[in-house]
């Protein structure tokens, strides 16, 4: 009886190490929480895995540093207000671009290494309109 348990424990540990390596190096999944990206991405639909709700996006890490981002891309980034949380937003402007802040008469130039992101549902989105250019 102890031998099958030991075999299961070894297999489980190996699977856990593979999963951790995969999420650290290759990519990971993010579930959509909130309504900020509606109608493009939805929250609240039951997935085939009952623990996941809403649309799920896969963000890939290997080629991300070399990827040429374009305005209009949907991106995953760390929240500037809570670095433990990820946000899914649309890339509106990149470094050097000028942005007219919606709802005001302010015009800002995006600093080097930063970008301007917004949710598709502007009325319900916490984004660059609230916290300024993102990293």
Residues labelled as active-site residues:
36, 89
Cβ atoms of residues 124 and 36 within 8 Å: yes
Strands (E), the chain: 27-31, 56-60, 74-78, 86-94, 98-100, 107-109, 115-118
Any bridge partners for residue 116, and if so which? 93
Angle 64-28-32 (CA atoms, 0-180°, nearest 5)? 105
């Amino acid at each position: 009886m102890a031998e099958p348990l030991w075999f299961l424990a070894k297999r489980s540990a190996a699977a856990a190490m593979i999963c951790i390596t995969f999420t650290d190096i290759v990519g990971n999944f993010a579930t959509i929480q909130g309504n900020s990206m509606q109608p493009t991405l939805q929250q609240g639909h039951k997935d085939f895995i009952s623990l996941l709700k809403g649309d799920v996006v896969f963000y890939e890490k290997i080629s991300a540093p070399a990827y040429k981002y374009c305005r209009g891309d949907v991106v995953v980034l760390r929240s500037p207000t809570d670095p433990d949380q990820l946000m899914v937003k649309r890339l509106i402007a990149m470094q050097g671009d000028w942005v007219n802040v919606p709802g005001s008469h302010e015009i800002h130039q995006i600093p080097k290494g930063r970008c301007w992101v917004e949710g598709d549902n502007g009325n319900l989105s916490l984004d660059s309109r609230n916290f300024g250019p993102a990293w």
